[in-house]
Amino acid sequence: MRQKITLKPPFPKVSEKDRYLRFLSSKANRSPKEAAKDELTYIRAYETKYGMSSEEFFEKYSDHRVNGLIPEHEWFDWKLCYSTFQKMLKQYNLTLEEING
């Protein structure tokens, strides 16, 4: 599972080389399928919280936020997560069945 990281000042200085190495290790540490599975769990939490599917949320509310229905920052977060998740499925040629299976 992905983890949340909290950095506190002083923030570490990371050299160009280390930035690149971290990029490579991050890629190696998790497959797209695993990343998608993690993401799906995150998106499902929003669906449970607000009692609607992401498809319904996106169709009804992605163009406008209904005041009071979903707090602004969560509206943006859900929208961003769902749209980037869909994009990622296409990019890596993944299906929901594969991820759930």
Partner 1 sequence: MAEYLFVNYYWQLYDVVAQHQDIIVSFNQIEDHFDVIFFERIRWDIEFIDGSKLVVRIEMEISEYKVLEKEYYYGYYDRNGNRLFSYDNAPHHEWISTAPHHMHREQITDVDRAYPTDIRPVTLANVLAKIRNILVKGSKERY
Footprint of partner 1 (CB under 8 A): 2-11, 13-14, 19-20, 22-23, 26-27, 30, 32, 35-36, 38-39, 63-65, 67, 72-73, 76-77, 80-81, 83-85, 87-88
Residue in the block written with tokens 């993690």: 38
Q: Which is nearer to partner 1, 23 or 55 (CB)?
A: 23
Could you give the count of Cα atoms lying within 13 Å of 7 in the half-sphere of its Cβ?
Answer: 5
Shortest Cβ distance from residue 51 to partner 1 (Å)? 22
Shortest Cβ distance from residue 84 to partner 1 (Å)? 4
Alpha carbon distances (Å) from 99 to 37, 59, 90, 94: 6, 23, 13, 7
Shortest Cβ distance from residue 25 to partner 1 (Å)? 8
C-alpha 77/C-alpha 2 separation (Å) is 17
